Chain A
Amino acid sequence: MRRRRWELIAESLVEWLIRLSGVSAIIFVFGIFYFVFREGMGLLWSGRFNFVQFLTSIEWYPTSQSHVRYGALALIAGTFSVTLLSMAIAVPFGVGTAIYVSEFCGPRAKETLKIVIELLAAIPSVVWGFIGLTVMNSLIIKLFDSPIGLNVLNGGVILALMSVPIIVSIGEDALKAVPDSFREAAIALGATRWQMVRRALLPAAKNGLLAAVLLGVGRAVGETMAVLMATGHSIRIPTGLLDPVRTLTATIAAELGESAVGSDHYQVLFIIGILLFTITFVVNLSADLIVRGIRGKA
């Protein structure tokens, strides 16, 4: 039976649409880079912006009347300190939970834990920010006798709670990817479960766990609303856990609304955007390469 002509046309149209959607992700990633770059470009090539000063000066006075300075070092330090603290908490907890879920607990507990972690991952960042602003804030003031509770510690703990679900789920995948023969061999040699985990599984899943940590870092660096609300608004290099800071992301979120479209201030925020895009791109790319590295070997 011959198919009608319009059916053939419709089919080729649909296949064309499928191919277009398939490459849409590539188009969007390039689109994001292009448009963020496009908005910030004007300032980048003008004489009013000094890239070295941008990376090395802590003087961020984008709206100064007399002498405008765009030094983002304090903001970079803010992002770095909060990310570092959050990883110091989230990596042991995330990897520990992944090990427990994957190797130690029974099937029922496993299902429950995975559901709870999925729900934990679903909590919107603005709600996390609100928790930082209210619960964590008063908790830190009480516990550390600090005048204000919006600081590196607050942001770090909140970000840790936000990154743990990623580390757990990717880390569990990494442990699951280790062949059962590794486990069987270790048990047959009389190893306890902990010995098996430490001597056989962790070395074998090393790369996957590293990728999990990197994805957690990516999440922490890019997180906006939670750090905007929980870290305070002080542009300086932190010297302790109780210092308030301002991150790169929070700066964009806080200042974009008050800068006129096309102004120098507006453009420098897009330059911060390019910096953030580049950082997360490199982090995600390395995570992906590491994961593919293991698959290539296996």
Chain B
Amino acid sequence: MSAEVKKTTPAAIAAQFTKTGLVRKQERRERVARLIFATMALLMVLPLALIVGYLFWRALPVLSFDFLLKVPIHGMRAGGIWPALLGTIYLVLVSLAVSTPIGVLAAVYLNEYARENSFTRLVNLAVVNLAGVPSIVHALFGLGAFVVFAGIGRSIMAASLTLAIMTLPVIIASSKEALAAVPRPFREACWNVGATRWQTIRHVVLPNSISGILTGVILQVSRTAGETAPVMFTGAVFYKAIREGDVFAYGLFDQCMALSMHLFTVSTQVPDVPEALPYGTAVVLLSTVLAVNALAIAFRVYLRSRKKW
């Protein structure tokens, strides 16, 4: 009964009359296209979930606070990853200290000072190309410029400078976006009361974009922490003995271990490593990076929700 009722609704009748074979064919194609694209998108989502899940599952036997805070023993076949974790923290902090000011100021230049001309285009082109330089070429550059030419030697300093230059485009791009989001009338109001360009930037533009810039800095932390190739030849070493739990174990001109490098070492260079150990290292690195990124995303969503203009 109900089926018959359905058939007599105006829309159903209209559909019966208007749907020629051609239209039906097109609708079928539409469904197929939608299905294919959805499958493709799903296939992009699945790897992330599968990879993270699988790595976690395999790493479970070694994951503990001891794993984070102990030093490696028995030629890195047992123990924890403390020196590598600490090394990565040092590398990230030193490289951020260099790249954040340069990157933010460069963004200020591009957004507030630069005119629409071919020189500005050249600067933008350089930023794009800097982002596209392969990480191993950055490593060669770091080795040639900082370690050999400047004579700093393989050290946290040389590695951090290399990382800083490599991640500069990240901070420039995100800061530029944050600065561009400040409406132009804010600046005009400030100029109208007689403020100079820099005063306007200092008291109006930067305070209103600081959270956006901060998001960029967070993203940069994750990028810096994951890089391997640039630090391999400029400051990171396979193994370095430091005291357990010693936070000030490294000096600026010491070599250090790094989490990313350590993962490479235990998974390819050291024979007879217990299976779970490299998985544990991978999970610590991966979850650090993903957590930092998630933080940046959450921060961005929060900012968007309370945006006043």
Q: Are A29 and B44 touching (Cβ within 8 A)?
A: no
B180 within 8 A of A: no
Once bound together, how far apart are the Cα atoms of A256 and B154, in whole Å? 14
Given contacts A18-B113, A126-B263, contact A32 B135 (CB under 8 A): no
Contacts known (A224-B136, A252-B140, A280-B133); A23 close to B123, Cβ less than 8 A: yes
B102 to chain A, nearest CB (A): 5
Assembly CA distance A172 to B194 (angstroms): 42
B141 sits at the interface (CB 8 A) = yes
Q: Which of B236-293 contact A (CB under 8 A)?
A: 260-261, 263-264, 267-268, 278-279, 282, 285-286, 289-290, 293
Q: How far apart are the CA atoms of A15 and B200 in the complex, in Å? A: 12
Tell me how far the C-beta of A124 lies from the nearest C-beta in chain B, rounded to whole angstroms: 3
A-binding segment of B9-17, B47-55, B70-78, B185-193: B47-55
Residues in A whose Cβ lies below 8 Å from that of B94: none
Size class of the contact patch on chain B? 35 or more
Within 8 A of B (CB), among A1-52: 11, 14-15, 17-26, 28-29, 31-32, 35-36, 38-39
Classify chain A's interface size.
Answer: 35 or more
**Residue in A11, A29, A117, A194 whose beta carbon sits within 8 Å of that of B29 in the complex:** A194
Pairwise interchain contact B196-A11, C-beta atoms closer than 8 A: yes
Asked if A270 lies at the interface with its beta carbon under 8 angstroms from chain B, I say yes
- Interface SS, A side: helix
For residue A219, which residues in chain B have a CB less than 8 angstroms away from its CB?
Answer: 132
Is the CB–CB distance between A35 and B198 below 8 Å? Answer: no
Assess the B144–A119 pair: CB atoms within 8 A: no
Q: Are A253 and B136 neighbours in the complex by a CB distance under 8 Å?
A: yes
- Chain A residues with CB under 8 A of B302: none
- Residues facing B in A121-143 (CB within 8 A) are 122-127, 129-131, 133-135
A195 contacts the other chain (Cβ, under 8 Å)? yes
Contact in complex: B44, A104 (CB < 8 Å): no
Whether B109 lies near A123 (C-beta < 8 A) is: no
Q: How far is the CA of A26 from the CA of B128 in the complex (A)?
A: 10
When the two chains form their complex, are residues A131 and B51 in contact, meaning their CB atoms are under 8 A apart?
yes
Question: In the assembly, what is the distance between CA of A105 and CA of B134, in Å?
Answer: 34
Inter-chain CA distance A124–B225, complex, in Å, is: 8
In the bound complex, do residue B133 and residue A222 qualify as a contact, i.e. CB atoms below 8 Å apart? Answer: yes
Interface positions, chain B 182-208, Cβ under 8 Å from A, are 196-199
Question: From B43, which residue of chain A is reached at the shortest CB distance?
Answer: A93
| B25 shortest CB reach to chain A, Å | 10
| Interface residue? B178 (CB, 8 A) | no
Chain A positions 261-275 with a Cβ under 8 Å from a chain B Cβ: 261, 269-270, 273
Question: B164 — nearest CB in chain A belongs to which residue?
Answer: A28
The answer to whether B297 touches A115 (Cβ under 8 A) is: yes
Q: Are A35 and B133 in contact (CB under 8 A)?
A: no
Is residue A87 within 8 Å, beta carbon to beta carbon, of the partner chain?
Answer: no
A92 neighbours in B (Cβ, 8 Å) = 40
Contact status A288-B125, CB under 8 Å: yes
In chain A, positions 208-257 with a C-beta closer than 8 Å to chain B are: 215, 218-219, 221-225, 229, 249, 252-253, 256-257
> Across the interface, do A130 and B165 meet the contact criterion of CB distance under 8 Å?
no
Quote the shortest CB–CB distance from A169 to chain B (angstroms): 12
Question: How many A-B contacts at CB < 8 Å in the complex?
Answer: 262
Q: Which listed residue (B169, B282, B290) contacts A122, Cβ 8 A?
A: B290
Chain B residues, CB < 8 A from A193: 30, 33-34
Q: Which stretch, A55-63, A95-103, A181-189, touches the partner chain B?
A: A95-103
Given A124-B286, A126-B260, the answer on whether A21 and B228 have CB atoms closer than 8 Å is no
The distance from the CB of B23 to the nearest CB of chain A, in whole angstroms, is: 9
Q: Report how far A124 CA is from B260 CA in the complex, Å.
A: 8
Inter-subunit contact A28/B168 (CB<8 Å)? yes
Docked-complex contact B44 and A113, CB < 8 angstroms: yes
**CB pair B54 A21 closer than 8 Å:** no
Q: Nearest Cβ in chain A — how far from B216, in angstroms? A: 13
Q: Is B143 an interface residue (CB 8 A)?
A: yes
Any A CB within 8 A of the CB of B86 = no
- Interface centre among B145, B229, B285, by most chain A C-beta atoms within 10 angstroms, is B229
Q: Is the CB of B130 within 8 A of A28?
A: yes
For the complex formed, measure the closest distance between the CB of A116 and the CB atoms of chain B, giving whole angstroms.
5
CA distance A215 to B41 in the complex (A): 20
B41 contacts A25, C-beta separation under 8 Å = no
B residues in contact with A21, CB < 8 Å? 101-103, 105-106, 108-109
5 pairs of A and B residues whose beta carbons are closest in the complex: A124-B226, A222-B134, A22-B109, A21-B105, A100-B37
18 contacts between A and B (CB under 8 A): A22-B109, A25-B123, A25-B126, A25-B172, A28-B168, A29-B126, A35-B149, A97-B41, A99-B37, A119-B294, A125-B135, A126-B264, A194-B29, A225-B260, A229-B264, A229-B268, A288-B125, A288-B129
B-side interface residues toward A, CB under 8 Å?
A: 26-27, 29-30, 33-34, 36-38, 40-41, 43-45, 47-48, 51, 54-55, 58, 101-103, 105-106, 108-110, 113-114, 122-123, 125-141, 143-145, 148-149, 165, 168-169, 172, 196-199, 222-223, 225-229, 232-233, 260-261, 263-264, 267-268, 278-279, 282, 285-286, 289-290, 293-294, 297
16 extra interface residue pairs, beta carbon distance < 8 Å, beyond A93-B44, A119-B294, A284-B131: A11-B198, A15-B198, A20-B105, A21-B102, A22-B106, A25-B127, A32-B137, A36-B137, A38-B149, A118-B293, A123-B289, A124-B225, A125-B229, A126-B226, A195-B26, A269-B140
